[in-house]
Amino acid sequence: RPEEHGLGERVRVRPDLAARGGYRAGEAVPGAIKLSSNESGHPPLPGVLEAISAASAEANRYPDNHATALRTALAERWAVSPDEVIIGCGSSLLCQELVQATCEPGDAVAFGWRSFEAYRLYAQTSHARAITVPNTPDGRLDLPVLAAACASADQVGVAFLCSPNNPTGAVITDDELTAFLEAVPKSVPVVVDEAYAEFATGVTPHAIDWYRAGWRNVVMLRTFSKAYGLAGLRVGYAIGAPELLHAVRAIRSPFNVSTVAQAAAIASLHAVDEMDKRVAGVAAGRRWVAERLRRLGLPVQDSEANFLWLPLGVHADAFAEHCRREGVIVRSFPPDGVRATISVQADNERLVDAASSWRHSAG
Ligand code: PMP
């Protein structure tokens, strides 16, 4: 019997991980439309499926671990050198690698709250501590307060500024970014997570301009998952100081961006016109949905991303549950609000219809 051999005992894991649930991914429900993960509602861009098919013929070989062709294409696009570009298996994994490359145990990861949930997760799982500062009441990152918190804290390993911010959609301004950079030590990497930057129609800083102007601690983080519509293939990238990227390479797992993903990313960079059209469509859809929801009397914050934030407070879960019954999956962040992705017009209409029936049922 197993017990006689001392078997049947629980397997030991890191005690701090036993109670953690990990990243909460937006779920897909058969038959419902998924507006909970800020994906693109379009199929891959023109030329991408052909590139995927050609690249899959090389599936017996490991991918290029350095993603040389993709890094070269991105370096050209952003007028930097390839050794200032690093590719990751999604920009979320790059967030984790950046934390691991910058934080020793007990060092701090600084970010606003709410912001992208993975920053907190990666701080916790890397034995770092989190410095968080609540957003302003209108959902904007409170950069002066975050800068003061960073300036007075011991050993800040890395700061994450998300613009447009997930889940609130707010952007930081040029002046806010400059003031933040002036206030924090120049040695602290400041990662500006621009996962949704392509959707911004208003004036918003692109971190690359600060990096090129000499702020060596600025890192621009981008992804192919949102505007480029390649969420399923997992490709993101960061541009920043070679010494930082060298440290990231020192900890990253090899071959974690597939040949197919690299080829698809390169092909999608060429589809400029179609990409512009789709992004403009999302911006128009965002205005349309925001106006409809506001007309229904729902609170909607201004957003520059491919989603809207409804600060519904304690009603967040009930709203999300109602939408789910109507076949529309949105993401609840109780007790603060709900985030709904802007997609193609048919999906946007379903969202507005679900919100409308919520208003009417709630009186
Ligand atoms: N940053 C932000 C702000 C995000 O919202 C997301 C995805 N939800 C990511 C990074 C990660 O995207 P991916 O790993 O697909 O590149």
Nearest-atom index, ligand 1, CA of 94: 14
Task: Give me Rg for the CA atoms of the chain.
Answer: 21
Query: Residue 94 Cα, ligand 1 centroid: separation in angstroms?
Result: 10
Give the number of domains in the chain.
2
Q: Does 12 map to a domain?
A: no
Q: Are 354 and 328 in contact (CB under 8 A)?
A: yes
Nearest to 166 by CA among 345, 352, 336, 346: 336
Residue span of the structural domain in which 208 resides? 48-270
Nearest-atom index, ligand 1, CA of 196: 3
195: left (phi over 0), alpha (psi -120 to 50) or beta: alpha
- Which one-letter amino acid corresponds to residue 113? W
> In the listed set 240, 270, 300, which residue is the last one of a domain according to the structure?
270
Render pLDDT for 6-43 as a digit per residue (tens, 0 to 9).
Answer: 788 888 888 888 888 787 777 778 889 999 999 999 99
Looking at residue 47, what DSSP letter applies?
Answer: T
Query: Residue 91 Cα, ligand 1 centroid: separation in angstroms?
Result: 6
CATH assignment at residue 59:
3.40.640.10
- Which one-letter amino acid corresponds to residue 268? S
Query: Residue 176 Cα, ligand 1 centroid: separation in angstroms?
Result: 22
Q: Are strands 236-239 and 156-162 parallel, antiparallel or unpaired?
A: unpaired
Render pLDDT for 209-253 as a digit per residue (tens, 0 to 9).
Answer: 999 999 999 999 999 999 999 999 999 999 999 999 999 999 999
Query: Does residue 171 surpass a pLDDT of 80?
Result: yes
| pLDDT at residue number 2 | 74
Nearest-atom index, ligand 1, CA of 91: 16
Residues 227 and 144 placed together within one structural domain of the fold: yes
| pLDDT at residue number 363 | 47
Nearest to 227 by CA among 218, 235, 238: 235
For helices 259-270 and 272-295, the axis angle rounded to 10 degrees is: 80
> In the listed set 254, 270, 286, which residue is the last one of a domain according to the structure?
270
CATH assignment at residue 318:
3.90.1150.10
Looking at residue 66, what DSSP letter applies?
Answer: T
Mean pLDDT of 55-84: 97
Q: Which of 39, 114, 116 should be mutated for ligand 1, with most atoms under 8 A from CB? A: 116
Q: Are 117 and 24 in contact (CB under 8 A)?
A: yes
Mean pLDDT of 149-165: 96
Query: Residue 87 Cα, ligand 1 centroid: separation in angstroms?
Result: 14
DSSP string, 185-245: -TTS-EEEE-TTGGG--S----HHHHHHTT-TTEEEEEESSSTT--GGG--EEEE--HHHH
Looking at residue 126, what DSSP letter applies?
Answer: T
Q: Does 8 map to a domain?
A: no
Q: What percent of the chain has pLDDT over 90?
A: 88
Query: Does residue 64 surpass a pLDDT of 50?
Result: yes
Nearest-atom index, ligand 1, CA of 162: 3
> In the listed set 224, 240, 270, which residue is the last one of a domain according to the structure?
270
Nearest-atom index, ligand 1, CA of 37: 8
Render pLDDT for 270-295 as a digit per residue (tens, 0 to 9).
Answer: 999 999 999 999 999 999 999 999 99
Q: Which of 89, 92, 93, 114 should be mutated for ligand 1, with most atoms under 8 A from CB? A: 92
| pLDDT at residue number 23 | 78
Name the helix (H) or strand (E) containing 339: strand 337-341
Residue nearest atom 1 of ligand 1, based on CA coordinates: 195
Report the complex ipTM. Answer: 0.99
Residues 31 and 57 placed together within one structural domain of the fold: no
Residues 245 and 98 placed together within one structural domain of the fold: yes
- When the pLDDT of each residue in the chain is averaged and rounded to a whole number, the result is 95
**Which residues are within 8 A (CB) of 277 and not within 5 positions of it... i.e. 6 or more apart?**
none
Query: Residue 193 Cα, ligand 1 centroid: separation in angstroms?
Result: 8
Nearest to 266 by CA among 43, 40, 67, 84: 67
Cα–Cα distance, 88 to 237 (Å, whole number): 6
Nearest-atom index, ligand 1, CA of 167: 5
How far is C-alpha 114 from the geometric centre of its chain's CA atoms? 13
Omega cis (within 30) before 44: no
Q: Does 125 map to a domain?
A: yes
Residues 195 and 232 placed together within one structural domain of the fold: yes
Cα angle 268-271-272, degrees, rounded to a multiple of 5 = 120
Residue nearest atom 2 of ligand 1, based on CA coordinates: 195
Cα angle 353-169-38, degrees, rounded to a multiple of 5 = 60
Ligand 1, pocket residues at CB < 6 Å: 38, 90-92, 116, 162, 166, 193, 195, 223, 225, 231, 236
Mean pLDDT of 77-97: 97
Query: Does residue 342 surpass a pLDDT of 80?
Result: yes
Residues 225 and 121 placed together within one structural domain of the fold: yes
